[in-house]
Structure 1
Amino acid sequence: MNMFALTKESLIDKKILDCPAGACSFTAIGNQSGLDVTACDIAYHYSVDFLQEKGHSDIKHAMEHMKKVKNNYQWGFFAGVEDLRAHRIRALQTCTKDIERSKERYIPVTLPSLPFRDEQFDIILSAHFLFLYADRLDLSFHLDTVDELLRVTKEELRIFPLVDLNGARYQYLDEVIHYLIKKGCTAEEIKVSYEFQRNANSMLKICKKGEQYD
């Protein structure tokens, strides 16, 4: 919620898509809290057992790396590396258990294509993918993915953060915003209260047809 400057109340009666969702707990906790959340990710092509095994492996690798670059992060939301590890493991466990219970909410996809109908969702949340991996995903991929995300949302798309892995503002962000405005959307950079990676404290709020979503 802090990443996207949202409240639970603002999402009531909204159809929400988390894309790409990964092995995170937002979908599970959101639906348990009365929201209507669907998750999609390339990872859901695989079995729950594989996701658990790969998830633990990824967390172990990430924490080993994190210890070497601790100064690149703000340690306010998390108390330290061990607290972050525990948080990630809980999220992984919550996610995989929810997939076993509600597999229909976890849709395997390979971006930039999505298997959803036009305007199937009211709002789409996209975290830690677009812009972040600018070293391996080119501008064309970003524009194609944003187009597809906008196709399946009725109102709005929010993307967090707006920096690459080095904490620098995505070099083509102005081009993306110009592209969106030419399509008739509004695109606004908004500071948010969540910051873990240094300088990763802004999101892009994109509204279709000038509609505002509060």
Structure 2
Amino acid sequence: MRKVEQGTKLDLERIVFIGRTFEEYMAMFLLSSDELKGKKVLDCPAGACSFTAVGNKQGLDITACDIAYDHASEDLKSKGIRDIEYAIKHMEQAKGNYVWDYFNDVNALRNHRLNALHDCSDDMKQNNERYIPVTLPFLPFHDDEFDVVLSAHFLFMYGDRLDYEFHLETVNELLRVTKKEIRIFPLVNLEGKRYEHLNPLKRELVGKGYFVEEKEVPYEFQKNANSMMIIHKAKQ
């Protein structure tokens, strides 16, 4: 287990607390509840997603971790509502950057985001032990503690702010805590362009003996964000 000294928690106003629904996770990661039964799953970073809340109600074993979880659930819920309304307010101007198949319109998007936030914040109050505060690229978990690790809308998306070394350290840390595989979605940045260092990262992982594959998924909201990477710890 890696011990990490946590510094002062991040200012709440610097956190954007918006998340996706359980159903979105199933689509973006090409998963089903049956596939996850009997497995220990980590969502990192999880934000305001309802994947952990809804999944555990279905009998799955899911843990969520995020830098935001240093804050109280009520504070996060209030922040999340403000963040959703801010995002929706500006969505009309950027509608052309998105594919409106999964969501019929902006109002449907708002409802999905609010549902995810409410499910997440309610579950945080009732089952706080499932929500672990972390500061990447370090995780306070044992080696091989999870069977599957999922990471959505963080890695690769912020390639202009998080350098290659951070990406590599974070991926290595996610691999450390999983027995089998990690899945990362999407593979593009905020402009919808493929992460520029993705191929060097893949080569480095393959050189370490991991099996890496890219798969298209039946989910695309941001344009070009319709594929994920699976990194298997054992060669296929």
TM-score, normalising length: structure 1:
0.97
| Counterpart residue number, 2:171 | 146
Q: How far, CA to CA, are the matches of 2:151 and 2:112 in structure 1?
A: 20
What is the aligned counterpart of 1:155 among 175, 180, 187? Answer: 180
The match for 1:170 among 192, 195, 215 is 195
Q: 2:17 matched to which residue of 1?
A: none
How far apart are the structure 1 equivalents of 2:233 and 2:67?
26
CA–CA separation in structure 2 for the residues paired with 1:156 and 1:139: 21
Aligned to 2:103: 78
Two-structure CA RMSD over aligned residues (Å): 0.7
Among 198, 207, 215, the alignment partner of 1:190 is: 215
Instruction: Find the counterpart in structure 2 of residue 31 from structure 1.
Output: 56
Match of 1:52 in 2: 77
**Unaligned regions of 5+ residues in structure 1, if any?**
none
Q: Give, in angstroms, the shift of residue 139 of structure 1.
A: 0.4
The one-character-per-residue Cα deviations of 1:30-57 (angstroms, maximum 9, x if unpaired) are 0011110000000100011210111011
2:87 pairs with 1:62: yes
Secondary structure in 1 matching 2:89 = helix
Q: Structure 1 residue 65: deviation in Å?
A: 2.0
- Letter aligned with residue 7 of structure 1: S
Q: Within the alignment, does 1:129 sit opposite 2:154 as a pair? A: yes
Aligned to 1:13: 38
Q: 3-state DSSP class of the match of 1:167?
A: coil
The Cα shift of 1:26 comes to: 0.5
Q: Secondary structure at the match of 2:129?
A: helix
Which amino acid is 1:91 matched to? A
Deviation at 1:119, TM superposition (A): 0.4
**Equivalent residues, number:** 211
Matching residue of 1:91: 116
Secondary structure class of the residue paired with 1:17: strand
Q: Paired residue for 1:42, among 62, 67, 73?
A: 67
CA deviation string 1:84-122 (max 9, x = no partner): 011111110110000011100000001001000000000
- Partners in 2 of 1:87 and 1:106 — Cα distance? 21
Displacement after TM superposition at 1:24 (Å): 1.0
CA apart distance, 1:17: 0.2
Query: 1:209 Cα deviation (Å)?
Result: 2.1
- What amino acid does structure 2 have at the position aligned with 1:135? D
Any gaps of 5 or more consecutive residues in structure 2?
A: 1-25
Which AA in structure 1 matches 2:28?
M
1:201 is aligned to 226
Q: Paired residue for 1:22?
A: 47
> Could you tell me how far apart the structure 2 residues matched to 1:175 and 1:58 are?
34
Q: Secondary structure at the match of 1:163?
A: coil
User: Distance in 2 between the 1:115 and 1:146 partners?
Assistant: 15
- SS of the equivalent of 1:210 reads coil
1:148 aligned counterpart, secondary structure: helix
For 1:44, the aligned partner's letter is Y
After TM superposition, give the deviation of residue 62 of structure 1 in Å.
Answer: 1.0
SS state at 1:69 partner:
helix
Amino acid at match of 2:35: S
Give the drift of 1:67: 1.1
Q: Cα distance, 1:66 vs. partner?
A: 1.3
